Amino acid sequence: MSQLPSSQEMERAYLSRDASYDAVFFLAVRSTGIFCRPSCPARKPSPRNVEYYASAREAIFAGFRPCKRCHPLESNDATPGWVVDLLARIEREPRGRYSDGFLRSIKVEPARARRYFQKHYGMTFQAYCRGRRLGKALEQIRKGVNLDDVVLGFGYDSHSGFRDAFGRAFGKSPGRSRTSDCIVTSWIESPLGPLLAGATSEGICLVEFTDRRMLEAQFATLRKRFACAIVPGENQHIRLLKKELSEYFKGSRKKFTVHLVYPGTDFQQRVWNQLLLIPCGRTVSYEDIARRIGSPKAHRAVGHANGLNRIAIVIPCHRVVNKSGELGGYGGGLWRKRKLLDLEQGKTTVEDDASPQNKSLEPAYA
């Protein structure tokens, strides 16, 4: 991901509809699935529901659709009518096959479409269509539609076809730089939905639910942090992770032994290291973590670092809850956080989570 302003700055910008930030960042609203320019005239979403993207492309690939009021895909110059028409068609039917032949049939020269999309959206027309199709498919998975139905319903011929589409959207071929370590990524089925795992030769560097909107941003961060390509594959760390995850979901594993690599800022690392100390079956508050890393006032920054954890489940960011005992947020979806905690606590109801017992857990491992 290219450099974004700080989240406070972006929050201020969109809440005040500051048009000078248009094209600097885009905001996407989790609850509606729409992304906007900062200056959008529509009612402003609560910052809690907002994710930021540096480009429309990232927002598209994360599964968001362009807002109908502020038209975030359109540049400030008037968008040609044929583009407006084309975008509307794709939005109505993202499963369609928009071949060159089809473009010609609606009097659009394919080369022109390619040039326009490349220039204005930083991707080819076909990549845009794939992105919307994949985005819509992910949206269905997020809504709980069965993976098989989604795969077939969106015209992927098989799970592996869907995975390949994923690979094309998120991966990069190693090209000529074969000297550097690459990150291998594997798809892992779990009772809470498919996960994508990534590993270097040193250890696991990514575990994310595949429908998570952060995924592409996480990939970009990984590419930057490790300066290497991301390719489909498997290594010994991924194999061990698969085994341990399956034991974890069966309830027979409380601790992971798989090697982890999680570069980050100094602050992030302190937070993530603390997360690793929270025992299975326990929860702590953001304030607890803040105190523990010696920055008692930084609970919001702790929450942010927590949300940027790239190794879901294994680095247990889901064990951090609000001081009130409420679940707080979870990038993979609150329902998953609840299920993970239930699994770890051997509980069947979530109401129990809100009881004061969680607040008194702190000294247990301090």
Burial zone of 143 (CB within 10 Å; 0-12 exposed, 13-18 middle, 19+ buried) = exposed
**Least distance (Å) between residue 36 CB and Zn ion:** 3
CB 191 → Zn ion: shortest distance, Å?
A: 36
Pick the catalytic residue from 36, 67, 205, 317.
317
CA distance 194 to 210: 6
Task: Tell the smallest beta-carbon distance from residue 44 to Zn ion (Å).
Answer: 10
Instruction: Write down the least CB distance from residue 101 to Zn ion, Å.
Output: 33
Q: Is 317 a catalytic residue?
A: yes
Q: How far is CA 146 from CA 61, 143, 150, 181, in A?
A: 20, 9, 6, 35
How does strand 50-53 pair with strand 34-36?
A: unpaired
DSSP-derived 3-state class of residue 196: strand
Could you tell me which residues come within 8 angstroms of residue 327 by beta carbon, excluding any fewer than 6 positions away?
Answer: 321, 334, 337, 338, 341, 350, 353
Place of tokens 């845009």: 128
* Of 162, 161, 228, 243, nearest in space to 197 by CA: 243
Q: How far apart are CA 328 and CA 337, in angstroms?
A: 9
Q: Which candidate, 136, 157, 311, 262, places its Cα nearest to that of 211?
A: 136
How far apart are CB 37 and Zn ion at their closest, in Å? Answer: 6
Helices marked H in 183-294 — which ranges? Answer: 215-226, 236-250, 266-276, 286-292
What sign does the dihedral 279-237-230-250 (CA atoms) show? negative
Task: State the Cα–Cα distance between residues 307 and 89, nearest whole angstrom.
Answer: 35
Q: Which is nearer to Zn ion, 20 or 349 (CB)?
A: 20
Q: Are 118 and 153 in contact (CB under 8 A)?
A: no
| Minimum CB distance to Zn ion smaller for 50 or for 137 | 50
- Closest CB to Zn ion among residues 79, 221: 79
Nearer to Zn ion, 69 or 95 (CB): 69
* Complex with Zn ion: residue 74 or 216, whichever CB lies closer: 74
Residues engaged in binding Zn ion (CB under 5 A): 36, 40, 42, 67, 69-70
How near is the Cβ of 70 to Zn ion at its closest, in Å?
A: 3
Q: Tell me how crowded residue 217 is: count the other CB atoms within 10 A of its CB.
A: 21
Residue placing its CB nearer to Zn ion in the complex, 24 or 42: 42
Residues known to be catalytic:
317
